[in-house]
Structure 1
Amino acid sequence: MNSLFLAMRREHYLLVNGYSTNYWGWGGEDDDMFKRIINKQLTLDRPPASLAR
């Protein structure tokens, strides 16, 4: 998953237990959040590429 912006409801953030504190510097936290979201059976919405350029 590539990400530059992520927005979610507070209750969903709490449900997935927020971002892990195991990451330092750059990289990995977005993939971890993606797995947390999927594991809780939440859905992701992505804008079409033509809009997100």
Structure 2
Amino acid sequence: LPYETIFGGVCGLTEKQFREANGYSNTYLGWGGEDDDFYERVKFSKMKIFRKTLKIARYASLKHVKNTKQRNHAK
């Protein structure tokens, strides 16, 4: 993982858990930041995040080119 608190791409929550975390924020524009914000929402809701071992679950992350014109993705 690029960093320990990365949380996005592939995750599973029940509808109840999603609501308890207050879902995704709609204050982000473009790419970036929304998954870190959702991680904080899940942790604040006292939910436990667990990850399967690489033998069971393995994903590759696509390279993201930063858009220098739009630095702040929050509205």
TM range (shorter): 0.7 to 0.9
Residue number in structure 2 paired with 1:17: 22
Give the structure-2-normalised TM-score: 0.62
Percent pairwise identity: 28
Secondary structure at 1:5's aligned position in 2? coil
**What RMSD in Å do the two structures reach over aligned CA positions?**
1.4
**After the TM superposition, which segments of 4 or more aligned residues of structure 1 sit over 4 Å from their partners?**
none
Report how many aligned residue pairs link the two structures: 53
Check 1:14–1:2 CA distance in 2 against 1; reply closer, same or farther (3 A cut): closer
Please give the alpha-carbon distance, in whole angstroms, between the structure 1 residues aligned to 2:49 and 2:18.
13
In terms of Rg, which structure is larger? 2
**Offset, 1:28:** 0.5
2:36 to 8, 20, 31: 31
Secondary structure at 1:44's aligned position in 2? coil
Residue number in structure 1 paired with 2:52: 47
**Offset, 1:52:** 1.1
Q: In proportion to residue count, which structure has more helix?
A: 1
One-letter amino acid of the structure 2 residue matched with residue 5 of structure 1: V
